[in-house]
A and B are shown apart, each in its own frame.
Chain A
Amino acid sequence: MADQHPPKYGTVARSNQWGTRVKPNKHGLRLGDINVGVYGEIPDRWEDQTRNPRGAIAKKGVPPLGYAIRDKADLWADCAADLYEEAIQRRFASATDVPWHTIKPLPDVLERSICQVLTELCQYANCDIEVISQWQHQMAYGYHEVKQFLATATFDATRMYETFRKRALCNGGGLGLEGPGEINRMILESRGGWSETVTYLLLMRGSYMQTMLRYLERYAQNDAERSIYRFALEAKARQITYGLDHLRYSIAHDDDRRTVMQMLFFIGDRVWARELGDHVLREALSIIFAGGLEDAPTEGNATYNRMMRDFMNEYLGICEWLGVKRDLATLPGRMSQFVIAAAG
């Protein structure tokens, strides 16, 4: 056995700010509440390249971990700590919180359509998981609120994947056709930085998915589906809120960001338009909205068009709110048709 020196315990007492006593309030002790003193100092750039927790004494000689995202403007959102708490509190266990017993056998064409939509929603959720987690490890630890919130976003996406899959497999149906996935690929391969990915994942596809979830809740066949879509809707709304707050912060601290986003939307719109050309999802949604095949081409399709108008209003509304100018004349026809219809 090697010689061991008797411990002196002197180093244990070292701290940048000892005597910190944050008290819980009536809402508990929340992540944002403990941002006091040095622990709440969040610099514009995080120079430390290790896992040193914010406010701790840095150890010399730790090999750098190579975090790529160290500028606050590239990931920060003031609401991140609150969103983290919100996500934890609004957690949802699909095994027991969904009233699965309310699902009854449906006409085959309706069940097939529901399963088709859920198949594509599983792909969306899977894309969320992969995209967020591939960026998360590149974010510096000084901005732990964002990393923690994004961890909940990843977990929310896994629960969406799980819950959508369960619904598809519990009523005599099964998974349908894989969707085209061009948007997924565009999001996965966006390499210009996390803010670029946020633009595509959380604002562009996020607002589309949120709109779709709202319509699916509206046209749900039972309480189980209703609760599934409502859970997903809340989770997606949190992600969009982070996206909005981050991009607003980023635009305020980076002169070029707004122009870059303008170009990103221009590029993204074209990929989006290609994906909209796929008829499978549109037809499945039309059947769900019409409650069957008979009225799908008329009533169902009209509701689909209304959903798309709502999406375009939301999408363009977000751009306007962020101050990102859009030239509607450059929108691809598959998108602009819904803007024109909204104006009329």
Chain B
Amino acid sequence: MRFPSPEWFNAVAAVFNADDRYRGAGGGQSFCRFGVIVGDDIVVVTMDGHECSGAETVDRSSLTDVDFYLEMPRSQWLAMLKDIATNGRATLNHTLNTIDLDLDEGLSKSIHGDQYREDLFFRYNQTLQFLFDASARVQTDFGAST
């Protein structure tokens, strides 16, 4: 499945939603909408309680409605997902927190600048990491650029 399509996120969500291990050890319910930007592709993902409840393609103007969005070059997205696919979860240099620190502009951003909503990235950090880690069990089409 092609990353970052809604189909890909729905497939990841199916794995994530069905695995109780993602609900403990720092995981838990989360309530937010966040964007994922990969080049011109923008997908908005909805987290509702213990579930990732949906993903949809949007245009850039819709980003004003999300709590935060994650943006980095396609090559770095693919490096992160390949690391997850290889190891079953993100290892040191590919966790969301590490990437956020390493990128000059950061990984997590917002248009509204609302500190309260931006902080959801940290409050739900483990759950968001678990969500992307669940992609290890989804067949990902990394595309020709890899």
Contact = CB atoms under 8 A, between A and B. Distances in A.
Interface string A232-259: 0110111011001100100000000000
Interface in B57-111: 92, 95, 97-98, 100-102
B26 A90 contact: yes
A283 B113 CA distance: 34
Q: Interface range on chain A: under 10, 10 to 19, 20 to 34, or 35 or more?
A: 20 to 34
A244 B97 contact: no
Contact of A234 (B98, B100, B123): B123
Q: Which of B26, B29, B98, B101 has its CB near the most chain A CB atoms (within 10 A)? A: B26
B140 to A, nearest CB: 23
A210 B122 contact: yes
A237 B123 contact: yes
A48 interface: no
Nearest to B29: A89
B136 to A, nearest CB: 15
Given A231-B26, A234-B126, A317 B97 contact: no
SS of A interface (majority): helix
How many of chain B's residues touch chain A, expressed as a range?
20 to 34
A59 interface: no
Contacts of A27: 29, 49
A86 B101 contact: no
A217 B116 CA distance: 22
A215 interface: yes
B117 to A, nearest CB: 10
A90 B101 contact: no
Interface of A: 26-27, 79, 82, 85-86, 89-90, 92, 97, 210, 214-215, 217-218, 220, 226-227, 230-231, 233-234, 236-238, 240-241, 244-245, 248, 310, 317-318, 321
